[in-house]
Amino acid sequence: MSETEKNGTPLLEIKDLKEYFNINIGMFRSKPLKAVDGVSFTINKGETLGLVGESGCGKTTVGRTIMHLYKPTGGEIIFKGKKIETKQDINEFRKKASIVFQDPYSSLNPRMTVSDIIAEPLDIHKLYSTKAERSDKILSLMENVGLTSEHASRYAHEFSGGQRQRIGIARALAIDPEFIVCDEPVSALDVSIQAQVINMFGELQKKLGLTYLFIAHDLLVVRHISNRIAVMYLGKLVELADAKEIYDHPLHPYAKALMSAVPLPDPKIARTNKRIALSGDIPSPLNAPSGCPFRTRCPYAKDACKESMPPLEEVSKNHFIACHRTAEIN
């Protein structure tokens, strides 16, 4: 057991993370698009934190910024108690953390064989001493994700979407990571294949002691795999709680609307379930509303919501919400 685990330090800590992109608005002028604006959360060793929200809310940007695929505009990323700042910190972090991308069709190099795709992280970080050791590691990784040695010399275009995503997962596992960002890893797959891949993530987590940030917009998938769930809206975190708690007792008006849209398998319960329909469209993150970003679609919005963004506060054990009117509307 490491020092961080003994001291109860989270494996990953995100503090006030910001990611702004400068967008050209004409006549040599630019404006910041606040894709991620002051997001904070922790992930403990061995758990899965689900990150959900509508398309464009900043989920994927959070994952990519944590991995330093985008340089953070502000905030802190702390891994095992150590702040990641310098180029050396990033290199060391990437030896212990990896990412599975959303699209298995565009995230694999069509000119490389499966064995070379999987071995890419091994080659970059020089994690083998002989060619035989490299081959053994590749075959072991393929076996872990349900591929056979016969697949090693083939190319990505010869495989189905589900098999391609398994190749991507094997590549992510190559460095023997402790933490993996799963960026909508099943959204591009057929529904019949999604369950197999989700179950594989669960099995790998138990077998290898992995920790996940699981980004998705499919709420049923997130519920199945996550210990805790964070809800994002327009670059902000609006609610964070245990998975069961956030499904059974969402407190933020946006989280309530999201959860009411989850399909229920029991027709009797489904008939009594009242869908909460939100009015209006999601504002552009380039022209986000002042104060709480959800106020333009919120039925409970008051003047206070226009003036300031509510802080993410703990309202019950491990249940955090960012809303000025929590006590009144729940």
pLDDT digits (tens, 9 = 90+) for 53-102: 988 899 999 999 999 999 999 999 999 999 999 999 999 999 999 999 98
Helix axes 131-144, 114-125, angle to 10 degrees: 120
Categorize the per-residue pLDDT at 266 as very low, low, confident or very high, splitting at 50, 70 and 90.
low
172 neighbors 67 (Cβ within 8 angstroms): no
pLDDT per residue over 182-237, tens digit each?
999 998 888 888 989 999 999 999 999 999 999 998 888 898 899 999 999 999 99
What's the DSSP call for residue 121?
H
Q: Which residues pair with 232 in a beta bridge?
A: 237
Sign (positive/negative) of CA torsion 131, 137, 140, 141?
negative
pLDDT for residue 83: 96
Predicted local confidence at residue 26, as pLDDT: 81
Place of tokens 């509510």: 310
Residue 6's pLDDT band (cuts 50, 70, 90): very low
Summarised one tens digit per residue, pLDDT across range 30-42 is 999 999 999 999 9
> Alpha helix locations (H) across 74-190?
87-93, 114-125, 131-144, 161-173
Which amino acid, one-letter code, is at 254? Y
Mean pLDDT (the chain, rounded): 90
Tokens at 197, concatenated: 């891949």
pLDDT at residue 323 is higher than 80: yes
Round to whole Å and give the CA distance between 64 and 67. Answer: 5
- Output the pTM of the full model: 0.92
User: What confidence category does residue 269 fall into, taking pLDDT thresholds of 50, 70 and 90?
Assistant: low
The CATH architecture one would assign to domain 3-96+177-329 is 3-Layer(aba) Sandwich (3.40)
Comparing 85-94, 138-147, 157-166, 260-269, the range with the smallest average pLDDT is: 260-269
CB 117 within 8 A of CB 199: no
Domain extent listing, the chain: 3-96+177-329
The number of angstroms, rounded, from the C-alpha of 182 to the middle of its chain's C-alpha atoms is 6
pLDDT above 80 for 273:
no
Considering only residues 319 and 264, tell me which one the structure prediction assigns the higher pLDDT: 319
Model pLDDT, residue 134: 95
- Is 217 in contact with 54 (CB distance < 8 Å)? yes
Q: Identify the pLDDT of residue 1.
A: 38
Query: What pLDDT is recorded for position 271?
Result: 67
Query: Of 274 and 260, which is predicted with more confidence?
Result: 260
Task: Band the pLDDT of 114: cuts 50, 70, 90.
Answer: very high
Q: Is the pLDDT of residue 330 over 90?
A: no
CB 239 within 8 A of CB 250: yes
Q: What pLDDT score does 220 carry?
A: 84
Residue 312: HSE in the Cβ half-sphere, 13 Å Cα cutoff: 20
pLDDT at 284: 87
CB environment 276-310: b (16+ within 10 A), e (fewer): eebeeebeebeebbebbbbbbbbeebeeebeeebb
Helix or strand run (H / E) with residue 270: helix 267-272
User: Which two structure tokens, joined as six digits, stand for 206?
Assistant: 């138990």
Tell me: pLDDT of 2 over 60.
no
Backbone angles phi, psi at 189, to 5 degrees: -100, 155
Q: Which residue is listed with tokens 């020092």?
A: 3
Residues 6+ apart with CB under 8 A from 237: 39, 40, 41, 230, 231, 312, 322
Residues 105 and 201: their CA atoms lie apart, in Å, by 19
pLDDT > 90: what percent of the chain? 72
Judged against a pLDDT cut of 70, whether residue 265 lies above it is answered with no
Percent of the chain with pLDDT over 70: 95
Quick check: 3 pLDDT over 70?
no
Residue 280 has a pLDDT of 77
Q: Which residues contact 61 (CB under 8 A, 6 or more apart)?
A: 19, 35, 36, 70
